[in-house]
């Protein structure tokens, strides 16, 4: 039942909210129309089944079935957390005939929906609409979470009754387990680790000796996960915790920006169960135990580090962070906003070979990073985008109250140097946050594909000052007007 509820709560949000109207698609979008037709057909069937449930005393089942018609939430992007264990929905042996009828009917309706979306996702791939295809795949997986082909499309395969990535399967075959505290370690080490011993340089030592050995960052622990190597002198446990948050961050980034990482043909091959052909980056993180260590280690090479709370070094292709002390109420949240921001820069730079000209359009790289700062978990979903985020609200305040605004036609002309040397840098960052939200969410996400393609052009050095306007098929003035329209509709928080 719980999985059904999760599916229903997110479906409408993802389905309509995720589609874009790219330049050539504005007049007519047959693929979107067919998807909407499938949706409307499902709604009619779901409502008929819900009424039948009410007439036969199945009020809980009627409520579950009707969850589908929840309002469409355009202001957030919901990414469902899929169950890891392979499990089929089952009904108790002593279930009443009416309950059996509802169960079978509801499963049929959902399976029909999943099959239609699966076919439409294939058409989307054929039309090279990779983002749309990925969103359809995610939605269909809620209806059919144990579908081999759909799981393959997200890079999962069934292994020992669990959905795993190939990397995880390889670790398990090597005799490792993903321990709650210690991460991926050999299963034979678990008992000794839990008793306080540590394996270091081919011998067993005490936890205290291990802590002393790794006290300096150059000797820090290396916590390896599927996509990250985290070097830290804080602790194994904190390094594992960070690496897990980073893996979630990576998967969300990959799902949202899949078009940046993979082509439609590559995704289609993955869908068929073939080994991933596009390159998955290996990402390096240096995580200090406190700010003092962060400054003492890095400030000697770059005095400007004292003004930072974390950064991405594009020459070393590493991110540098430190554990916040927790003295402020939002220390943990603020730390991860920095992690996600700088981690976004790292991903776009490391996911493929880039060659940016840095002649213009620098604002968009910051806008994407600011947007990813909003990543958080809400119930059974990972969520991006928030009209009440501090960056968006600041953009609104500065637009209407401070009268600060650099129009689209002007901001695209700024390069990295002119952007970062601007005397109004805080205002620029808040505007980037507002503009990112606009391009990802305005009018049910109509510019989302354009924004991802725009970023691709920037990082590959194929951009011009007109690129954004070509991709959106809108003039700078029209985007300015729509941006203002969006900001007007965002309410300020109510005073408590």
| Among 114, 110, 104, CA closest to 150 | 114
pLDDT value at residue 74: 66
The CATH number for 449's domain is: 1.10.390
C-beta atoms surrounding 251 within 10 Å: 17
pLDDT value at residue 277: 67
Q: Which residues on adjacent β-strands are paired with residue 284?
A: 229, 318
Which domain-ending residue is among 104, 122, 154?
A: 154
pLDDT value at residue 362: 97
The C-alpha atoms of residue 240 and residue 376 are separated, in whole angstroms, by: 18
Average the pLDDT over 278-288 and give the result: 91
- Same domain assignment for residues 221 and 209: no
pTM of the predicted model as reported, rounded to 2 decimal places? 0.88
- Same domain assignment for residues 240 and 342: yes
The C-alpha atoms of residue 16 and residue 63 are separated, in whole angstroms, by: 22
Instruction: Evaluate whether 242 touches 232 at the Cβ level (below 8 Å).
Output: yes
- Same domain assignment for residues 391 and 445: yes
Q: Which domain holds residue 95?
A: 2-154
- Same domain assignment for residues 226 and 333: yes
Question: Using only C-alpha atoms, what is the Rg of the chain?
Answer: 24
| Among 389, 385, 262, CA closest to 13 | 385
Chain segment 27-65, per-residue pLDDT in tens: 346 777 787 788 788 888 989 999 999 999 999 999 988
pLDDT value at residue 26: 41
Instruction: Evaluate whether 360 touches 464 at the Cβ level (below 8 Å).
Output: yes
The C-alpha atoms of residue 405 and residue 428 are separated, in whole angstroms, by: 8
- Same domain assignment for residues 359 and 459: yes
CA distances from 36 to 15, 117, 136 (A): 9, 10, 12
| Among 404, 366, 371, CA closest to 386 | 371
Number of domains in the chain: 4
- Same domain assignment for residues 149 and 165: no
CA distances from 63 to 9, 59, 69, 337, 489 (A): 12, 6, 10, 37, 31
- Same domain assignment for residues 110 and 225: no
User: Which pLDDT band, with edges at 50, 70 and 90, does 77 fall under?
Assistant: confident
DSSP state of 385: -
**Residue 25 pLDDT greater than 80, yes or no:** no
- Same domain assignment for residues 13 and 127: yes
Average the pLDDT over 279-297 and give the result: 95
Residues whose CB is less than 8 angstroms from the CB of residue 315 and which lie 6 or more positions away in sequence, other chains included: none
More confident residue, 279 or 389: 389
Helix residue ranges per DSSP H, 174-290:
190-194, 207-213, 236-256, 258-261, 264-271
pLDDT value at residue 7: 39
DSSP state of 466: T
Residues in the chain: 496
Average the pLDDT over 199-204 and give the result: 95
C-beta atoms surrounding 45 within 10 Å: 18
Residues whose CB is less than 8 angstroms from the CB of residue 363 and which lie 6 or more positions away in sequence, other chains included: 411, 412, 414, 419, 428, 432, 435
Instruction: Evaluate whether 385 touches 76 at the Cβ level (below 8 Å).
Output: yes
Burial of 167 (0-12, 13-18, 19+ CB in 10 A): middle
- Same domain assignment for residues 244 and 200: no
CA distances from 119 to 38, 129, 130 (A): 11, 14, 14
- Same domain assignment for residues 168 and 96: no
Indicate the range of 31-35, 204-208, 262-266, 406-410 predicted with least confidence: 31-35
CA distances from 336 to 309, 321, 330, 331, 388 (A): 11, 10, 10, 9, 18
User: Which pLDDT band, with edges at 50, 70 and 90, does 21 fall under?
Assistant: very low
User: Which pLDDT band, with edges at 50, 70 and 90, does 276 fall under?
Assistant: low
More confident residue, 392 or 445: 392
Burial of 98 (0-12, 13-18, 19+ CB in 10 A): middle
- Same domain assignment for residues 364 and 463: yes
Which domain-ending residue is among 213, 234, 256?
A: 213
- Same domain assignment for residues 286 and 374: no
Chain segment 440-487, per-residue pLDDT in tens: 999 878 898 899 999 999 999 999 999 999 999 999 999 999 999 999
Q: Could you give phi then psi for residue 228, rounded to 5 degrees?
A: -125, 145
User: Which pLDDT band, with edges at 50, 70 and 90, does 230 fall under?
Assistant: very high
Angle between helices 97-126 and 2-17 (to 10 degrees): 30
Which domain-ending residue is among 193, 213, 233?
A: 213
The owner of tokens 């990250």 is 228
**Residue 363 pLDDT greater than 50, yes or no:** yes
């Amino acid at each position: 039942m719980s999985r059904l509820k999760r599916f229903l709560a997110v479906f409408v949000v993802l389905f309509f909210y995720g589609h874009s109207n790219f330049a050539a698609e504005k007049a007519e979008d047959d693929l979107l129309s067919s998807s909407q037709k499938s949706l409307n057909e499902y709604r009619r069937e779901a409502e008929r089944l819900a009424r039948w449930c009410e007439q036969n005393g199945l009020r809980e089942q009627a409520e579950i079935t009707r969850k589908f018609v929840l309002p469409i939430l355009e202001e957030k992007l919901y990414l469902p957390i899929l169950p890891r264990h392979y499990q089929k929905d089952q009904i108790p042996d002593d279930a009443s005939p009416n309950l059996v009828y509802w169960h079978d009917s509801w499963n049929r309706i959902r399976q029909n929906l999943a099959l239609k979306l699966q076919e439409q996702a294939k058409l989307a791939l054929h039309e090279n609409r990779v983002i749309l295809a990925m969103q359809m795949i995610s939605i269909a997986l809620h209806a059919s979470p144990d579908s081999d082909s759909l799981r393959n499309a997200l890079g999962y395969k069934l292994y020992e009754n669990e959905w795993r990535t190939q990397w995880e399967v390889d670790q398990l075959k090597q005799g490792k387990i993903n321990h709650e505290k210690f991460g991926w370690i050999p299963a034979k080490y678990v008992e000794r680790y839990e008793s306080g011993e540590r394996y270091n340089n081919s011998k067993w030592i005490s936890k205290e000796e291990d802590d002393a050995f790794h006290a300096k960052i150059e000797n820090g622990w290396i916590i390896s996960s599927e996509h990250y190597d985290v070097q830290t002198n804080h602790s194994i446990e904190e390094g594992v915790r960070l690496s897990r948050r980073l893996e979630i961050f990576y998967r969300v980034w990959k799902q949202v920006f899949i078009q940046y990482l993979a082509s439609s043909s590559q995704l289609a091959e993955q869908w068929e169960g073939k080994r991933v052909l596009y390159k998955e980056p290996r990402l390096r993180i240096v995580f200090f135990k406190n700010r003092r260590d962060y400054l003492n280690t890095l400030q000697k090479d770059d005095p400007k580090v004292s003004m930072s709370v974390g950064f991405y070094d594009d020459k070393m292709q590493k991110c540098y962070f430190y554990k916040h002390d927790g003295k402020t109420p939002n220390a943990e949240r603020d730390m991860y906003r920095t992690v996600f921001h700088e981690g976004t820069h790292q991903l776009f730079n490391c996911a493929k070979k880039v060659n940016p000209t840095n002649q213009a359009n620098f604002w968009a790289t910051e806008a994407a990073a600011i947007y990813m700062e909003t990543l958080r978990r809400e119930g059974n979903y990972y969520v991006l985008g928030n009209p009440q985020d501090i960056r968006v609200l600041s953009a609104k305040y500065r637009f209407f109250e401070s009268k600060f605004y650099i129009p689209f036609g002007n901001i695209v002309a700024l390069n990295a140097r002119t952007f970062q040397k601007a005397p109004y840098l805080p205002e620029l960052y808040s505007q980037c946050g507002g503009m990112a939200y606009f391009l990802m969410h305005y009018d049910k996400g109509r510019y989302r594909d354009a924004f991802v393609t725009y970023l691709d052009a920037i990082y590959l050095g194929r951009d011009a000052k007109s690129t954004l306007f070509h991709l959106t098929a809108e003039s700078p003035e029209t985007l300015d007007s729509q941006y203002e329209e969006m900001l007007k509709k965002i309410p300020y928080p109510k005073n408590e």
